[in-house]
Structure 1
Amino acid sequence: MRLFSHAGRRRPHPTSPPPPTSPRQSLSATLMEDNIASAEAMISRWDADANTFAKVTSLFHAGRAEAREFLHAVSNLQRAMVFFVSGDCAAPAAARSAALVRAQTLMQTAMRRLEHEFHQILCANRDRLDPESVSSSTRARSSAFSDDTENSDDDEIRAAGATIGEVEQASAGAMADLRAIAEVMIAAGYGKECVRIYKTLRKSIVDEGLYRLGFERLSQSQVQKLDWEVLELKIRSWLGAAPVALRTLFSGERILCDYVFAGSDPIGESCFADITRDAATLFLGFPEPVAKTKRSPEKLFRILDLYDAMSDLWPEIEAVFCFESTAAVRSQALASLLKLAEAARATLADFEAAIQKDNSKSPVPGGAVHPLTRYVMNYLVFLADYEASLADIYADFPLQIPTPLPESFFDSASSTPASPSSTSDGGGAASAISVRFAWLVLVLLCKLDGKAEVYREVALSYLFLSNNLQYIVNKVRESRLRFLLGEDWAAKHAAKARHYASNYERLGWAKVAAATPADPAAEMDAGEAWEKMKGFNQAFEAACQSQADWVVADEVMRQEVWASVASMILPAYRVFYERCRAALRDSGPAAAAVVRFSPEDVRNRVYGLLDSGSFKTPLRSASV
């Protein structure tokens, strides 16, 4: 014990040889040198600079076995390099340096080969690595590929082939090859070269994909200078392309990046951001300059179409471009949404102002439906299809009017839309939109009241109001407006339209009804009968002549008006007519000159009015 203790304290002589390497250290160094030697054999075989066969042949030409051996050799070479620079290696410095130089030279050769293979796979599989195939093959791999590391890539591809088609199978194989190469290159410190190749080629795929979808890269100033007809075509093209671009093109690229660079999330994120950021920002920015074009009511529907599309795609935008590096894409999408909403509100305000400013003074012939009524109601019918979008757009912008709308404007039997003042207190988005539509209809009705005053005949003014209000009611009932305004609203306004028609009947036919004696069955002599029948003829002719061009536009209401006018005149006239015939029986042919209209003639004449397209029944003289 003392000897060993003393020996342990003795210092070595300066000229003594270094302590011998332990057997374990020698074995490790030997194994690493063997790894280098094995890697050299494999890498040299595929050195394109030294081997003509390697220059024209792919590692994957005969399956994946050779490629797998090559990648395994590179991984072993990497482990050897790590060993020789670590503290675990006790080999002489000269030996370690020589081994590292040799390994580094081989690694550079191997990386050149893998760069070439990576590039070739990306180029040769452009069609197979399209986003749709990528999505399909990834779904198949997730269900068909085994997690057992003992299975080869060939086994995985064959397993996937049982559930996917030929194109998807080829896509899955290419993705697996790219991933295997990327993992080895990144582990070897050559991730930058790998990423450079990947970004360059995949960025061109994304740009080409958008081009094939019909998207043209235009600056904001270029968009704003386009004629509306041309711009509308581009909007339609964008609307068709948007779902495919988000749910297939960009989503597929995200899936591919995530898969190929699964071993390094930061690299995958960086690749995806650099590949798609500019294209996605430009694509999702297209609606913004559209929203900034000169406003007109006709453009509102395309603005809302764009808003609908952006809103529908927002979940995909947030999911696909969720990284901090793609925040610019999300910001642009949000900016487009906000600009579209702003443009929609401004355009609808312009539409309301246009109704209020309409100053056409010419009366519509016959009291028919006014062009303004047709235009506004057709506009609102189309607008009602965008109820959900409008509710979102106006969620924070309640209608500001001096007084609440009349209760009669809403369906009390259903979920009654709240007044503008109550919508700010939680009345609900749907109720707020109902109020807004009701307000626009009220603006139109007020304008129509003013236009009715241009008619000189009061009866025709009422007929005009009846025609226009009934047209409005019909449009409401035939469209989604009935859900916004309610059936009770429609019923109340239909009753009001019928009331206007009743006023027309009363005023338009009052003189004719008054020309019939209060007691048509009372006895009268020939002279009295002659004068009274003459008075009726004059009143009836005057009414028919003045109303020759008047119309009742709605067929159902026209039938009701005909029946009502006939019931107002004919019962008394039939009795009066028979009494006059009896009184003038002895007057000879002269009686025919005054007893001109039989009750049937009167009926036919009434039913020949108020319809510009109706057949006018010729009048016949009544025989005495």
Structure 2
Amino acid sequence: MATATAANTDGPEKWIAKAQHIVESPVTSTSVEEDMLFGHDLHLSSKPDSTASAAADDDERSKAKVHLDAAEKVILQSDPSIPGFLTAVSDGKYLSAVDEIIRLSCGGVDGGVHGRATSLLETAMSRLRIEFSHLITTVHSPNLDADRRFSRSLSVSLPSRSSELTEDFSTSMEEERHAVEVRGWYSLSDEQTFNLIPFEVISDLKEIADRMIAGGYQQELCEAYISACRNLLNNFLSVRDVDQLIIEDAQAMDFEILSSQARNWFRRSKLFVTDVLPRVRELCDRIFEDSDELKEESFRKATKGLALQQFNHGAVIVTRLQSPASVFLMLNMYEDLIDLQASFWGDSQEFICGEVEEIFERLEKMVRETLAEFEVAIRSRKLSKPRQSGQIDPMVSYGMTYITTLVGYSSTLNLLLHDDGIDGGDNSVRGESMTPFGQRMHVFMSYIELRIQEICTFYKDDDGLKYIFLMNNVLHMVLTVEDSGLKAQLGDDWVRTRHRQIQQYATCYLRASWSKPLSYLKIDGLLLGHEGSSSVIVAVKGRFKKFNLAFEEIWSTQTAWIVPDPQLREDLRLLILMTVIPGYRTFLGITYCQLGAILKPSKYLKYTPEDLENYLSDLFEGTSEKSNHLRRKLGS
């Protein structure tokens, strides 16, 4: 064992006082020597009075020798190979014996006694160090159930193929629907809090630490703590093989396996920064509560290696998984590094900052490149024919989910994009007051809107469906913005402008879909003054027949269209009712007399206004099978 360092000037008195408190408690002894030792009122021998007799000096030396003999007996009889031998043997008499040896080795006693005590102190401290390490390394680790406890919270997934995002938003969206729910779950709840080491074990560790410090063995104590704590953390986090993963391995690794590595790393890093480090800090504070220097040195040396290993491992994974979906992994790593820096103080923090600076720079570069890749994916996506239901395009759904998730990282992204020059989009509307993140979101939104306009050109054969598609997708963007922090970035004007667009699209839909059937309900061209005229009757019959056919065609087609938002769906139905039903009632009332002269009028007057209202309530539900069934009913 290394030579013990000198104790503090006032250290012995302080720790002897603690030892005195321990040994004054009543115990049951089995020998005269132990009774004399553990029942003795411990104190440093006072400076000999110049008038004291030689007999008194001899008596003092005799008592010191008796105490030393008793302490030596307890020390040498203990078996360091038996776990817990120090804290359990003879009801804690080992620790009391150590207190006595510390007292005798501090001076004020016969030179022979002092020499023996100093030699015996080294043996006692060696055994205390063994016991200290044993208590830490053999403690039951809560991580035995970590995978089961934390896997339910993990909701980060990555595309199975890195090219999916740019080639098929539909497939990517389905796989990534819940991929970006990545915030708010990192730490354990209050009901799940844990301690790296049980409280009763910490108490024993504190007892040992007090005596090793009092005996001048601070450095040996610190080394024992660092070594044992590293082993404990390795077991807790199960990262013994992390340093095996290097860039070459990551490049050659199967994507699915690497994705699994990324998920495991993500869980470990959150656990390490938000739960483990604070508890290691708390453990150091309790064990080394009387020495700020030992607290910081022990914490730094026990954790810094694992911390750097953990984040270097993550950086290697992210390098391989660089894709738009992995930007959240990068941002979480960036924020974790900031939290990691805050966990260290003074020189330790300066050291950590220097070590992680390269990772910071690499992450910043990758985040910028990944966001640029997402932008390119939106802008350059190959257009394909959309679904014939007018519903929300997968690219729009995925893009908005992606963008709104970025809002949770707005502060971090403002740091990363602080000097990011952005051209294009409509970001000029809010001037220089817009944050870098806000500017980037404006550009993303502008490109999504541009793609919506390009996609709707596929509906050139049906303008009504085109406007349903536009309403669905623009409203999806608006509702997503209103339900997230994006509204603060884009502004109220952005939202109001899109609401006006939706109203305009609704008017255009009504004109495109219902102008034709409504044209048959006009009175123009009907000579209603010649009641019963065959030409009028023929004209009325023809108008009703054409209206019926046009209505049935619209109904059978548009019941298969989808308007997912309930409010928009009801608003559109109401708009149609307010336009079609009054016109139908008016035409029916004016031509009623002519209908009476028609043979089998029900063949032409197939619907009452109430029937039309009932049928219109089926629109935009996406019920194609129902439409086919009722098409036959309507055509019968």
Per the normalisation by structure 1, the TM-score is 0.69
Structure 2 CA distance, aligned partners of 1:270 and 1:313? 16
Q: What is the deviation of 1:538? A: 2.5
Residue among 567, 570, 587 paired with 2:581:
570
User: Which secondary structure does the structure 2 equivalent of 1:466 belong to?
Assistant: helix
- 1:52-96 per-position Cα deviation (integer Å, ceiling 9, x unaligned): 57998869833755433221110117x988xxxxxxxxxxxxxxx
Considering Cα pairs closer than 8 Å and 6+ residues apart, tell me whether 1 or 2 has the greater RCO: 2
User: Which secondary structure does the structure 2 equivalent of 1:318 belong to?
Assistant: coil
Structure 1 CA distance, aligned partners of 2:285 and 2:311? 17
Residue among 526, 533, 537 paired with 2:545:
537
Does residue 449 of structure 1 match 2:456?
no
Structure 1 CA distance, aligned partners of 2:264 and 2:141? 27
Partner of 1:13: none
Residue among 396, 402, 405 paired with 2:427:
405
Q: What is the deviation of 1:128? A: 8.6
Q: State which structure, 1 or 2, has the greater radius of gyration over its C-alpha atoms.
A: 1
Partner of 1:241: 272
AA partner of residue 507 (structure 1): A
Structure 1 CA distance, aligned partners of 2:335 and 2:444? 22
Structure 2 CA distance, aligned partners of 1:43 and 1:582? 129
Does residue 439 of structure 1 match 2:443?
yes
Partner of 1:374: 397
Partner of 1:478: 483
Contact 1:367/1:467 (CA < 8 Å) preserved in 2? Answer: yes
Contact 2:132/2:224 (CA < 8 Å) preserved in 1? Answer: no
Structure 2 CA distance, aligned partners of 1:619 and 1:434? 54
Partner of 2:618: 608
AA partner of residue 475 (structure 2): Q
- 1:377-422 per-position Cα deviation (integer Å, ceiling 9, x unaligned): 222333333333333333x134501464364xxxxxxxxxx43xx1
Per the normalisation by structure 2, the TM-score is 0.68
Q: Give the count of matched residue pairs.
A: 511
AA partner of residue 332 (structure 2): D
Q: What is the deviation of 1:374? A: 1.6
Partner of 2:230: 206
Contact 1:128/1:168 (CA < 8 Å) preserved in 2? Answer: no
Q: What is the deviation of 1:282? A: 1.9
Quote the RMSD (CA, aligned, Å). 4.3
Query: CA distance change for structure 1 residues 33 and 273 in 2, over 3 Å: closer, same or farther?
Result: farther
Structure 2 CA distance, aligned partners of 1:217 and 1:257? 31
User: Which secondary structure does the structure 1 equivalent of 2:419 belong to?
Assistant: coil
- 1:427-456 per-position Cα deviation (integer Å, ceiling 9, x unaligned): 5xxx43333223212211100101111112
Query: CA distance change for structure 1 residues 276 and 31 in 2, over 3 Å: closer, same or farther?
Result: farther
Partner of 2:127: 116
Q: What is the deviation of 1:43? A: 4.3
Gaps of 5+ in 1: 1-22, 82-98, 132-165, 408-417
- 1:240-283 per-position Cα deviation (integer Å, ceiling 9, x unaligned): 33222210124523653564x66xx4x77655544433233323
Q: What is the deviation of 1:105? A: 6.4
Q: What is the deviation of 1:103? A: 6.1
Q: For 1:69-468, what aligned pairs fall within 5 Å after superposition?
A: 69-76=100-107, 107-124=118-135, 168=199, 171-172=202-203, 174-184=205-215, 186=216, 191=217, 195-196=219-220, 198-200=222-224, 202-219=226-243, 220-221=245-246, 225=253, 226-253=257-284, 256-257=287-288, 259=290, 265=293, 272-315=299-342, 317-319=343-345, 322-323=346-347, 327-394=350-417, 396-398=418-420, 400-402=422-424, 404-405=426-427, 407=429, 418-419=430-431, 422-423=432-433, 427=434, 431-455=435-459, 456-468=461-473
Partner of 1:556: 567
Structure 1 CA distance, aligned partners of 2:527 and 2:571? 28
Q: Percent identity?
A: 15
Partner of 1:507: 512
AA partner of residue 400 (structure 1): I
Structure 2 CA distance, aligned partners of 1:618 and 1:130? 68
AA partner of residue 275 (structure 2): V
User: Which secondary structure does the structure 1 equivalent of 2:494 belong to?
Assistant: helix
Query: CA distance change for structure 1 residues 290 and 257 in 2, over 3 Å: closer, same or farther?
Result: farther
Contact 2:522/2:587 (CA < 8 Å) preserved in 1? Answer: yes
Query: CA distance change for structure 1 residues 281 and 306 in 2, over 3 Å: closer, same or farther?
Result: closer
